[in-house]
């Protein structure tokens, strides 16, 4: 594989800043892109449901089951604006997730139609010198599945891709908690897993971030995870508060500093300004590959437990 290192910026977005338009939101993103770029980052990672902040300029009278369809109406414009930012600043942007309508094609014409096709919670990765890559959330929370709430459709594939010599995958929030997904991709030689998340409670933060660190050990890969902080205001009332932080985890090996942490901040449910931005410089991809290919202290590789049976005694 190509020799490489990668520097990451992670932005724990402050949801409490009210917005009047998508253009105002993209102005905030531009500010953080500029900061990330000036800090030497190759990739800026943003949280799951960054579109929650858009609710501050949503029309009055929206019911819970209408929120996802309304957010999805903003998706096309947001995608084009983010593509331009990535290209103009020569930086990759994982714009967390925001919902999109599922394209269903007419059997006769082949033309897309979105008549009751549902919605995905979709992660959006913009590469300045590569394709636009998406990843749909695979394992949905009860609220995401509820017909009376967000009523989303789960994705059905994990996309693995290489950018600037680094082999990556995206797992969205609850997906990082699923050991079955970790086992599924264990033989894919992934260097970096990107995890946009959103957690309202400290317990949720600890589940997601704790499992992200576990996946770094299981996969012998770097794992970058970030969530939003605070609560969006809608029609003068605060919505559900979010508790989160940002971190980049590594395998717990001597050559990587023993602790398995490249960069980390403490969780919070309130913040100031645009929200914390941390930069993890020069993620040691080559050293991680050496460890994954046999120099790790005890790691047995993509262990499948195929030879193990469960015995009740």
Q: Is residue 307 part of a domain?
A: no
Find the mean pLDDT for residues 149-174: 96
Domain presence at residue 60:
yes
Whole-number Cα distances in Å, 179 to 135, 166, 182, 270, 308:
18, 23, 5, 31, 17
Sorting pLDDT into bands at 50, 70 and 90, what band is 304? confident
Where is average pLDDT lowest: 5-9, 78-82, 105-109, 276-280? 105-109
What is the predicted pLDDT for the residue at 115?
A: 47
Task: Give strand pairing partners of 166.
Answer: 163
The one-character DSSP state at 177 is G
Most distant CA atoms of the chain, gap in Å: 63
Note the pLDDT of residue 109. Answer: 45
**Does the pLDDT of residue 259 top 70, yes or no?**
yes
Residue 234 has pLDDT above 90, yes or no: no
Task: Determine the average pLDDT of the residues in 241-270.
Answer: 97
Structure tokens, 88: 């103009």
Which residue matches tokens 């790790």?
A: 296
8 A C-beta contact, residue 11 and residue 247: no
Q: For residue 306, is it within any domain?
A: no
Q: Mean pLDDT throughout 69-90?
A: 97
Does the structure show a pLDDT above 80 at 235? Answer: no
Residue 220: domain span: 6-295
CA distance 82 to 263: 26
Per-residue model confidence as pLDDT tens digits over 19-78: 999 999 999 999 999 999 999 999 999 999 999 999 999 999 899 899 999 999 999 999
Mean pLDDT score, 154-158: 96
Q: Residue 312: inside a domain, yes or no?
A: no
Q: What is the SS3 assignment for 195?
A: strand
Look at residue 56 and tell me if it is in a domain. yes
CATH of the domain at 95: 3.60.110.10
Helix (H, G, I), strand (E, B) or coil at 101: strand
pLDDT at 106: 45
Q: Look over the chain and give the mean of its residue pLDDT values, rounded to a whole number.
A: 93
What average pLDDT does range 218-241 have in this prediction?
A: 93
- Split into its structural domains, the chain has a count of 1
Within a domain: 300: no
Mode of pairing for the β-strands spanning 132-136 and 119-126: antiparallel
Per cent of the chain over pLDDT 70 is 95
d(Cα 17, Cα 24) in Å, to the nearest integer? Answer: 11
Q: What is the distance between the alpha carbons of residues 149 and 161, in angstroms, rounded to a whole number?
A: 33
pLDDT tens digit sequence for 101-153:
997 654 444 555 444 469 999 999 999 998 999 999 999 999 999 988 899 99
Read off the pLDDT of each residue in 276-283 and give the average, rounded to a whole number.
Answer: 97
Is the whole model's pTM more than 0.75, yes or no?
yes
pLDDT digits (tens, 9 = 90+) for 183-201: 999 999 999 999 999 999 9
Report the candidate in 29, 30, 76, 68 with the shortest Cα–Cα distance to residue 52.
68
**Residue 307, token pair as written in the block:** 């030879």
Q: Say if 311 falls within a structural domain.
A: no
Q: Does some domain include residue 81? A: yes
């Amino acid at each position: 594989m190509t020799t490489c290192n990668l520097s990451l910026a992670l932005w724990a977005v402050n949801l409490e800043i009210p917005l009047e338009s998508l253009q105002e939101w993209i102005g905030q993103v531009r500010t953080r892109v500029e900061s990330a770029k000036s800090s030497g980052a190759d990739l800026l990672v943003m949280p799951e449901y960054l579109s929650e902040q858009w609710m501050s300029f949503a029309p009055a009278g929206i019911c819970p089951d209408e929120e996802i369809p309304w957010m999805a109406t903003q998706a096309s414009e947001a995608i084009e604006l983010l593509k331009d930012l990535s290209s103009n600043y020569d930086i990759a942007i994982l714009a967390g997730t925001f919902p999109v309508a599922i394209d269903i094609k007419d059997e006769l014409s082949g033309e897309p139609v979105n008549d009751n096709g549902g919605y995905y919670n979709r992660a959006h990765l913009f590469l300045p010198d590569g394709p636009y890559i998406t990843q749909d959330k695979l394992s949905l929370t009860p609220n995401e599945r509820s017909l009376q709430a967000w009523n989303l459709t789960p994705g059905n594939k994990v996309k693995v891709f290489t950018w600037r010599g680094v082999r990556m995958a995206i797992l969205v929030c609850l997906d990082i908690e699923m050991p079955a997904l970790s086992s599924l991709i264990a033989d894919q030689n992934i260097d970096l897993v990107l995890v946009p998340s959103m957690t309202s409670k400290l317990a949720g933060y600890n589940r997601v971030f704790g499992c992200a660190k576990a996946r770094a050990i299981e996969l012998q890969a770097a794992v970058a995870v970030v969530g939003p902080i605070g609560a969006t205001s809608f029609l003068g009332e605060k919505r559900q508060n979010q508790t989160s932080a940002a971190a980049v985890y590594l395998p717990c090996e001597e050559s990587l500093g023993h602790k398995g942490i490249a960069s980390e901040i403490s969780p919070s449910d309130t913040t100031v300004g645009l929200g914390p931005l941390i930069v993890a410089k020069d993620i040691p991809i080559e050293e991680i590959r050496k460890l994954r290919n046999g120099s790790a202290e005890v790691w047995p590789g993509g262990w499948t437990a195929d030879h193990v049976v469960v015995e009740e005694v």
